[in-house]
A and B are shown apart, each in its own frame.
Chain A
Amino acid sequence: MSDSQAAVPHHDGLHNPALLHHFATEEQQRDSASFGMWIFLATEVMFFGGLFCAYLIYRRWYFGDFAAASKSINAALGATNTAVLICSSLTVVLAIWAAQTARRGLMILMLVLTMLFGVAFLGIKGIEYKDKFEEHHVPGVSFSFDHQQIPGHPDQYANPQHAQIFFALYFIMTGLHALHMVVGLGIFTWLLWMAWKGRFTPHYHTPLEIGGLYWHFVDIVWIYLFPLLYLIDRHP
């Protein structure tokens, strides 16, 4: 992280070149960066919070229709994706640990693994979306959800309009989550490049920690999305 200002005061070689001019110490800089990321994550919580609010209200109103719509999604794929993300979170902390203990090779391996898990997640998500597309469950003009039984009420069909609200929320929530994954992959590409260049040392690996915080947060969002969207009312 170098500053674009031309007039950075000269440091006397003892300083980390990554220390920006306006910070007094490396510790101050590191604490600021991590604190800033936590606050950013707070904004993300509220960002998804609005969607959870909408979800909660319509789930109460249209429980049966939501259950029917939820049941049409492949929960095994969702569960697999949850496991994939959890594994990627593990590789992230292992990468940070490797940086702390000066194991550059391991760090690079873990970063690559994290990204592979991320790509796998998006691939599985793609299969899921493809299924929904073929079943005409994507909201819009070609949407159809006719003659779908409400779980627990074999004599009742779900109201397609209400199911459409579920699918709208499903696509917006998982879509935004997937978008966050794509951004995360971008961040990790950059981290991998920095790691490759040998920028991270046991003393300085703040970007890795910050990127890790973001990745874990995206994982946490999924931890809630999975039961809320895939498992509303699945029992036989």
Chain B
Amino acid sequence: MSNHSKSSPLTSYFAVWGALLLGTFLTYEAALIDLGRFNAAVALTIATTKALLVALFFMHLKGASEKLLKLVVASTIFFLILLLALSMFDYGTRSFS
């Protein structure tokens, strides 16, 4: 939950907003440069940074008074990665056999 007594958070809101717009611009520009296989890595890194900014500041995950919400987020990401990684492991190793 957000902390009601803290001083005006407006600066951080606008800073995050600016960072998100900048991130969008960077994503778009980076896609136009040939980085080989790193194009996807750069795009996903920027996207994850943006997602983190939204979660931490706009969704107030950073100020959450307890660790529970962070635990929910972390375990969800864990199970999502599990789904992706274990399926990809099958697809990635099929050609070896």
Number of cross-chain contacts by CB at 8 Å: 127
B residues 62-97 near A (Cβ < 8 Å) are 68-69, 72-73, 75-77, 79-80, 83-84, 87-88, 91
Q: Which of these, A92, A216, A234, contacts B55 with CB under 8 Å?
A: A216
* Docked CA distance A167–B93 (Å): 27
The B interface, classified by DSSP as helix, strand, loop or mixed, is: helix
CB distance from A29 to the nearest CB of B (A): 11
Contacts A53-B83, A209-B2, A219-B54 given; indicate if A83 touches B72 (C-beta within 8 A).
no
- Residue in contact with B28 in the complex, picked from A90, A220, A224, A231, CB distance below 8 Å: A231
What CA separation (Å) do A82 and B43 show in the bound complex? Answer: 14
Q: CA separation between A100 and B3, bound complex, in Å? A: 10
Chain B residues within an 8 Å CB radius of A45: 76-77, 80
Provide the residues of chain A in CB contact with B44, threshold 8 Å. 224, 227
* Cβ-defined contact, A46 with B80, below 8 A: yes
For this complex, into which size category does the number of interface residues on chain A fall? 35 or more
Docked CA distance A38–B69 (Å): 7
Q: Known: A75-B28, A231-B31. Is A53-B13 also a contact (CB below 8 A)?
A: no
Name the distance in Å between A126's Cβ and chain B's nearest Cβ: 21
Q: Which residues of B contact A228 (CB under 8 A)?
A: 43
Contact B51 A224 (CB under 8 A): yes
* Contact count band on B: 35 or more
A190: interface (CB < 8 Å)? no
B72 CB contact (under 8 Å) in A30, A39, A75? A39
Which residue from chain A places its CB closest to the CB of B1 in the assembled complex?
A34
Contact of B13 among A34, A56, A97 (CB under 8 A): A97
**Within the complex, which residue of A56, A79, A100 is in contact with B2, where a contact is CB–CB below 8 Å?**
A100
Given A38-B73, A46-B79, A53-B87, answer yes or no on A235-B1 (Cβ-Cβ < 8 Å): no
**Residues of chain B with a CB closer than 8 A to A53's CB:** 83-84, 87
Q: How far is the CB of A47 from chain B (nearest CB, A)?
A: 11
Asked if A231 contacts B84 (CB within 8 A), the reply is no
Chain A positions 94 through 126: 1 when the CB is less than 8 Å from some CB of chain B, otherwise 0: 101100100000000000000000000000000
Task: Scan A212-225; emit 1 where CB is below 8 A from any B CB, else 0.
Answer: 11001101100110
**B54 in contact with A216 (CB, 8 Å):** yes
Among B32-58, those with CB < 8 Å from A are: 32-35, 39-40, 43-44, 46-47, 50-51, 54-55, 57-58
Question: Using Cβ atoms and an 8 Å threshold, which residues of chain B touch A202?
Answer: 4
Contact of A49 among B4, B8, B80, B91 (CB under 8 A): B80
Closest Cβ of chain B to A53, distance in Å, is: 6
Q: CA separation between A30 and B2, bound complex, in Å?
A: 11
**A116, B13: Cα distance in complex, Å:** 20
Other than the given A92-B58, A213-B59, A231-B39, 4 more pairs (CB < 8 A) read A50-B83, A90-B58, A212-B59, A220-B51
A binding-site residues for B, Cβ under 8 Å: 30-31, 34-35, 38-39, 41-42, 45-46, 49-50, 52-53, 56-57, 60-61, 75, 79, 82-83, 86-87, 89-90, 92-94, 96-97, 100, 202, 209, 212-213, 216-217, 219-220, 223-224, 226-228, 231-236
